Amino acid sequence: MRKNKAGEYINATNAYKYEEEECAKSSRGLRFLLLLPIPLSRRDISTLVHGHCQSERKMFVATVTLAFVVAYVSAEIPSYIHVCGRKDPNLDECILKNVENLRSKICEGIPELNVEPLEPLYIDKIDIISTDNLKISVTDVYISNLCNYEIKYFHLDLAKKHFDVELLFKRIYINMTYGMDARILVPVAMKGKIGITSDNVEAKAGIDLKVINKNGKEYVYVSNINLDIDIKEYKADLSSINDRDLALMRQLSENVISNNQQEMLRMLKPVLEDVVSKQIFRFANAIVKHFTYDELFPDRT
């Protein structure tokens, strides 16, 4: 709360009046009179000072109002997000163009919206086999080249708040640390770096949206994802395991990873789908939480 010159607090109602009185007493009003080239009576001076200070007060209000407007505009949807009207007969095409425009943003992240980069996708640990005699896991998994994708199919049903999308990832790279703890004849514990490359990875997703009311405004967010990832085959690079002491690990790794691809994929599939789904949740909701439903999908064509 503001104070007057006596050190007393004044409320908002009296603040404007106080500001006007101070303006009339100060040299701001007198300097204003010096600019006028005609003689003035005391009444004229009083009227002019009062009018000038009224103008200053209005200017102060306008400045504060402008500050609020600027703050509001700066929180509006960024230029790189193209708004699609919910009545647009070509809504799917409009959204697809939007996704294409956002391709680089998806990979690099959007700092102004606190959205982290999608790539590389990180997974701390995946347990592949866990039995009493054999434990195989991979840690520090980094999946890259995810932005090299093609959208094969997309359809949004706003009435049902649901959309389906099919993607083709032309090539993905997976780098990780492979660990094995085997108790066959003698205990063997090993670790090593492994690289995996897979081409033409297909992904199909059914995504549900939900609209909620918050502070009198409607917001939309991703509520559920059904994801199906299809990795048909891959190539494993075990060249980093080249020490003679790791010959046994290399042989076991080739038998497990390279020669049993379908079994490996069967175990990896649900883990990958879960991790990628969570990443989609985080990325999509981190963007849409900043804007209302009407801002993202205005009621127009």
Residue 241: closest CA among 172, 192, 184: 192
Q: CA-CA distances (angstroms) from residue 256 to 109, 232, 243, 250? A: 36, 17, 19, 10
Residue 30: closest CA among 17, 44, 45: 45
- DSSP states of 187-239: EEEEEEEEEEEEEEEEEEEEEEEEEEEETTEEEEEEEEEEEEEE----EEE-T
Residue 195: closest CA among 142, 271, 119: 142
- DSSP states of 137-183: EEEEEEEE-TTSEEEEEEEEETTTTEEEEEEEEEEEEEEEEEEEEEE
pLDDT of residue 279: 84
188 contacts 133 by C-beta, under 8 angstroms:
no
Q: For residue range 235-282, what is the model confidence (pLDDT) as tens digits?
A: 988 777 655 546 666 666 666 676 778 888 888 888 889 988 988 888
d(CA 254, CA 256): 6
pLDDT of residue 33: 39
Q: What is the pTM of this model?
A: 0.66
Does residue 120 have a cis peptide bond before it, meaning omega lies within 30 degrees of 0? Answer: yes
Mean pLDDT for 286-292 is 91
The DSSP output letter for 132 is S
Residue 200: closest CA among 251, 130, 148: 148
Q: CA-CA distances (angstroms) from residue 176 to 107, 153, 255, 279? A: 20, 31, 18, 19
pLDDT greater than 70 at residue 148: yes
Q: CA-CA distances (angstroms) from residue 15 to 21, 150, 163, 246? A: 10, 61, 54, 80
Residue 152: both structure tokens together = 């094969």
In this predicted model, which residue has the larger pLDDT, 105 or 2?
105
Mean pLDDT for 276-297 is 90
pLDDT greater than 70 at residue 165: yes
Q: How confident is the model at residue 30 (pLDDT cuts 50, 70, 90)?
A: very low
pLDDT of residue 221: 95
Q: CA-CA distances (angstroms) from residue 217 to 128, 210, 213, 294, 298? A: 46, 14, 5, 9, 13
Q: For residue range 44-71, what is the model confidence (pLDDT) as tens digits?
A: 445 544 554 554 444 444 433 333 333 3
d(CA 202, CA 264): 17
Q: Within a 10 A sphere around the Cβ of 221, how many other Cβ atoms?
A: 16
In this predicted model, which residue has the larger pLDDT, 236 or 91?
91
- DSSP states of 250-267: HHHHIIIIIS-HHHHHHH
Residue 215: both structure tokens together = 């502070």
Q: For residue range 221-231, what is the model confidence (pLDDT) as tens digits?
A: 999 999 999 99
Q: For residue range 93-138, what is the model confidence (pLDDT) as tens digits?
A: 999 998 888 888 888 888 888 888 888 988 898 887 788 888 888 8
Residues 6+ apart with CB under 8 A from 146: 107, 118, 119, 120, 121, 169, 172
Give Dmax (Cα) for the chain: 113
